Amino acid sequence: MSFVMTPAERESFLAGVHVAVLAVERDGRAPLAVPIWYDYRPGGEVLLWMDRGSVKDRLVRKAGRLTLTVQDESWPYKYVSVEGSVVISDEPPTRAEALGIASRYLPEPDARSYVDGALGENSLLVRVRPEKWLSNDQSKS
């Protein structure tokens, strides 16, 4: 029996609200693996908002690709991992893009306050083009 999700199942799961773990290659060390908020719509790109010049930014730019993993931590366990190349904009995310990410994780008034305080010239938007997928859904047993 296969626990692998169908393309529609894995895209729907990734579109759900999960904190992702971003993993990116580092020279001579274990990969950087950190939690991150994201936005995703099935069939599209994964959007990440981070600070320009941060460790994440520098490593993602150097590697040109990354992996994101999201999971359910309760039974039946599920996860989706997506690897892909990145496109980094020279412009900060638009307010709508930033709100699209923040409002997945915060109530609307808090998301607006968060974006108002955090969005600025030091912000950047990273687009991940999903190329390779891994998935597991233990409810398929």
91 pLDDT more than 90: no
| Residue 69: per-residue pLDDT | 98
pTM of the model: 0.93
- Quote the CA–CA distance of 133 and 80 in Å, as a whole number: 7
Parse the chain into domains and list their residue ranges: 7-140
CATH number of 7-140: 2.30.110.10
pLDDT, one tens digit per residue, over 32-72 is 999 999 999 999 999 999 999 999 999 999 999 999 999 99
Predicted confidence (pLDDT) at residue 141 exceeds the cutoff of 90: no
pLDDT at 61: 96
Are 124 and 57 in contact by the 8 Å Cβ rule? The answer is yes
